[in-house]
Amino acid sequence: MKPVKILLLACALSFFSFSAVHKYYISLTQIEYLTNKKSVQIISRLFVDDFENALRSRYNDNITFGDHQEAEKIDEYIERYINDKLTIKINGTKANFTYIGKESDVAIIKCYLEIEGVERIDSFEVTNKLLFDLIEEQQNIVKTKINSNQKSVILIPQKDTAVLKFN
């Protein structure tokens, strides 16, 4: 009987350790330019709980990413929020991206975006304010792969924009 109690205690502790609030506030946005498709593909990864809280505070108190009945409405909120918080300029001109969709697991949500019809990239400016309105400690990592060059920056609320040169 004692091994069963120990096993139950171990399971309970592991559950609480994984469900506890994380202590790092970061997002990762990967940006890749595919010259053959003339397309910039973007994947933003955010913690599910933080992103839900941002959408709840901004649009609807009842948002839950696992709610399949409200999936279309949630996609509208996600697209609206990302359009408000993420800005990209290519060669000095604001680029419009298309929200493709999302995937989520227990802890992370991935949001897929695309910019089509990009002939070339000499400079790439990104403003990433995702979750800055909710979390003061938030840091947004941006990793790019453009013209065979890889560059990364970390954006914070006090410095939310970076200009990268690729010529």
Residue 152 lies in a domain: yes
Does 9 map to a domain?
no
**For residue 17, what is the enclosing H or E element?**
helix 2-19
> What are 132-156's pLDDT values in tens digits?
999 999 999 999 999 999 999 999 9
Q: Which pLDDT band holds residue 28 (cuts at 50, 70, 90)?
A: very high
| pLDDT at residue 82 greater than cutoff 70 | yes
What is the C-alpha to C-alpha distance for residues 94 and 98, in angstroms, rounded to an integer?
13
Structural domains in the chain (count): 1
DSSP string over 55-115? HHHHT-TT--TT-GGGHHHHHHHHHHHHHHHEEEEETTEEE--EEEEEEE-SSEEEEEEEE
Does residue 7 belong to any structural domain of this protein?
no
pLDDT value at 62 more than 60: yes
Residue 8 included in any domain? no
* Per-residue confidence band for 22, with pLDDT thresholds at 50, 70 and 90: low
pTM of this prediction?
Answer: 0.84
Residue 124 has pLDDT above 60, yes or no: yes
Q: Tell me if 33 is assigned to some domain.
A: yes
Structural domain harbouring 125? 22-165
pLDDT confidence tier of residue 19, bands split at 50, 70 and 90: very low
- The pLDDT score that the predictor gives to residue 101 is 95
Q: Do 146 and 124 contact (CB within 8 A), yes or no?
A: yes
Give yes or no for residue 83 having a pLDDT over 60. yes
